[in-house]
């Protein structure tokens, strides 16, 4: 991968365009500035602020949610924010990682394959992120080595300090372009050897930009020892000690715990960690992730951050967010959605999908429970028992042949029993294969992704895109990012979107084979969304079915709690109506079956799967 081109070196803190500062400059603050014309010049210089978020004790402690929640709170106070995720792994991006190791790969509009935390950032804020907001060790070293080969270092010895740390700082500044406050999350846990260059880089940045323009937030864990019946602060103390050993003294501690944090324990943590008592923030486990901003706000976290960064004193406007959480916590109805996939051993593999269904439930005032069904274990004998209770079936994206037949069986069940069905990316492709086999009579219908049989042996309903035929590298080479889709009028897709053209994010190599379009339309499957520029099928639907839609893109990446994606609103509504009408044909033994899958049922109100 070629090195990144940087438009701003790490020493620079001012963006190219001019902007009026919202920082308080107590010495130079002049009276009567309130009514000054926006066209008038100003003596106040724009000064970017930086918040660095680290984590200790254990991984998955909630750094991403903390960063995203702070973004929510600062936006509610009127500040423009940007968020940057620094991942210490050597991969250039997570695109080639197994979802079972890393969780989902989140795709931005410009086609960057990134960590799932960028999904949290976009869902919790109004920011639209891009590849500059995701930084990895692989990218940093690739860029530095490319520069060295090019001779940019003029024969000097290339070292971790300053060359690697300078490149990290340059990337952080690049990701923060145009923002008043840049929130930077350092992935991993303090003490990890691969994270040391990033820790050193942010230590240097505080010297570069100054203490009034930066602060450190450390997210840590305060475990509850059931046998002793008390919370223990020692892991937090050791975590902060580890951070101080590399030159960073945290300004704030976000203390995750299962039980409320008493003031006595807060005082102890403050004393031993050299943090003011009021900056020890309790973050007790919430019933939903969308409560976290409200919890931090109740602790005064955002007010203290704005004060320490000398930002303009403004009031947080969290009314809509509180209303959304209230709707989530007080549903009027309850339904069950079955997700049939092969990454069910790590639900983080479907994180954005999970949250998008939550959003659809919020819009419909409905509590959605999910049954995660392993497609590898599904067959014609047990599909009835596995899906008889669900009010909707969703087959998500994926890769490879493993678990395919189970997904196709689930799709057939949903189609024949008029259960609302939603196929996303790979799920859409498998829906067309199922239709080809069982409705069009093409018994050998398949995808070229499953292998390359001899010519004429199989009908390739799903085929490799023409431009993909010359691609050899796996990383970053798929059809990635936002593409236009034209919607056909008088179709369900057009009705759902209420628009003639949409833009959605993609991540795939294979497409529907247009040679089969006439036959499919003749048999009742219609192509309601087309990318006209390349004549690619984007959306399929069956008009005679109560709700059967497959999409080639990933709509879950554009859904937010305050603005749920229309497809998820419509899907949950259809499942809601199916539940109310008892639409599923197989209804026998419901009470008995409910006990069988209850342990696998995940309440969407729990927030974290």
- Residues taking part in catalysis: 425, 554, 556
Given the DSSP bridges, would you call strands 445-447 and 421-424 parallel, antiparallel or unpaired? unpaired
Residue 479 DSSP symbol: E
Distance from C-alpha of 192 to C-alpha of 238, rounded to nearest angstrom: 14
Q: In the structure encoding, which two tokens stand for residue 307, read together? A: 């004060």
Residue listed under structure tokens 């936002």:
482
Of the candidates 258, 244, 261, the one whose C-alpha atom is nearest the C-alpha of residue 203 is 244
Of the candidates 344, 387, 239, 316, the one whose C-alpha atom is nearest the C-alpha of residue 78 is 316
DSSP string covering 552-609, please?
SS-GGGG--SSS--HHHHHHHHHHHHHHHHT--S--TTHHHHHHHHGGGEEEGGG---
Distance from C-alpha of 305 to C-alpha of 217, rounded to nearest angstrom: 10
User: How long, in residues, is the chain?
Assistant: 609
Backbone φ and ψ for 255, nearest 5 degrees, come out as -100, 105
Residue 337 DSSP symbol: E
The secondary structure element, H or E, covering residue 387 is: helix 383-387
Residue 345 CB neighbours (<10 A): 10
Residue 313 CB neighbours (<10 A): 10
Distance from C-alpha of 10 to C-alpha of 70, rounded to nearest angstrom: 24
Residue 421 DSSP symbol: E
Distance from C-alpha of 189 to C-alpha of 578, rounded to nearest angstrom: 46
């Amino acid at each position: 991968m070629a090195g990144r081109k940087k438009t701003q070196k790490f020493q620079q803190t001012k963006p190219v365009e001019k902007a009026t500062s919202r920082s308080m400059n107590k010495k130079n603050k002049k009276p009567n500035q309130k009514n000054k014309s926006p066209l008038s010049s100003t003596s106040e210089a724009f000064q970017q602020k930086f918040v660095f978020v680290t984590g200790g004790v254990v991984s998955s402690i909630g750094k991403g949610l903390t960063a995203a929640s702070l973004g929510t709170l600062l936006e509610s106070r009127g500040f423009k924010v940007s968020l940057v995720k620094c991942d210490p792994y050597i991969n250039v991006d997570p695109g080639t990682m197994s979802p079972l190791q890393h969780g989902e790969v989140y795709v931005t509009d410009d086609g960057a394959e990134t960590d799932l935390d960028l999904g949290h950032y976009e869902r919790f804020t109004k920011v639209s992120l891009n590849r500059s907001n995701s930084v990895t060790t692989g990218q940093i070293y690739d860029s530095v080595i490319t520069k060295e080969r090019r001779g940019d270092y003029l024969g000097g010895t290339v070292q971790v300090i300053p060359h690697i740390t300078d490149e990290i700082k340059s990337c952080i500044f690049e990701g923060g372009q145009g923002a008043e406050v840049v929130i930077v999350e350092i992935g991993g846990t303090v003490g990890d050897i691969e994270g040391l260059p990033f820790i050193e880089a942010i230590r240097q940045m505080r010297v570069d930009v100054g203490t009034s323009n930066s602060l450190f937030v450390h997210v840590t864990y305060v475990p509850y020892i059931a046998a002793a019946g008390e919370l223990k602060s020692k892991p937090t103390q050791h975590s902060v000690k580890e951070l101080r050993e590399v030159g960073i003294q945290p300004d704030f501690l976000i203390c995750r715990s299962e039980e409320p944090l008493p003031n006595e324990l807060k005082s102890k943590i403050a004393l031993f960690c050299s943090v003011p008592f009021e900056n020890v923030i309790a973050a007790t486990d919430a019933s939903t992730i969308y409560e976290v901003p409200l919890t931090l706000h109740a602790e005064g976290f955002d007010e203290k951050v704005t004060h320490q960064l000398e930002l303009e004193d403004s009031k947080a406007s969290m009314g809509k967010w509180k209303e959304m959480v209230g709707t989530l916590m007080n549903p009027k109805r309850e339904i069950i959605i079955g997700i049939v996939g092969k990454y069910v051993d790590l639900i983080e593999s479907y994180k954005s999908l999970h949250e998008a269904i939550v959003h659809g439930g919020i819009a419909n005032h409905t509590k959605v429970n999910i049954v995660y069904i392993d497609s590898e274990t599904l067959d014609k004998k047990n599909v009835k028992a596995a899906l008889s209770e669900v009010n909707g079936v969703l087959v998500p994206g994926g890769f490879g042949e493993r678990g395919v037949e189970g997904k196709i069986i689930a799709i057939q069940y949903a189609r024949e029993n008029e259960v609302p069905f939603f196929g996303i990316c790979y799920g859409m492709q498998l829906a067309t294969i199922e239709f080809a086999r069982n409705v069009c009579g093409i018994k050998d219908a398949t995808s070229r992704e499953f292998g390359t049989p001899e010519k004429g042996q199989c009908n390739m309903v799903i085929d490799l895109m023409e431009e993909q035929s010359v691609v050899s590298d796996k990383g970053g080479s798929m059809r990635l990012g936002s593409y236009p889709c034209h919607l056909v009028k008088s179709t369900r897709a057009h009705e759902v979107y209420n628009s003639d053209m949409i833009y959605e994010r993609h991540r795939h190599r294979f497409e529907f084979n247009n040679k089969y379009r006439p036959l499919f339309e003749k048999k009742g499957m219609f192509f309601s969304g087309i990318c006209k520029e390349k004549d690619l099928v984007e959306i399929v639907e069956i008009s005679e079915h109560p709700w059967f839609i497959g999409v080639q893109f990933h709509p879950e990446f554009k859904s937010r709690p305050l603005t749920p994606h229309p497809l998820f609103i419509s899907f949950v509504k259809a499942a809601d109506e199916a539940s109310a009408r008892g639409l599923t044909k197989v209804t026998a033994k419901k009470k008995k079956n409910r006990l069988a899958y209850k342990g696998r049922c995940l309440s969407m109100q729990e927030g974290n799967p």
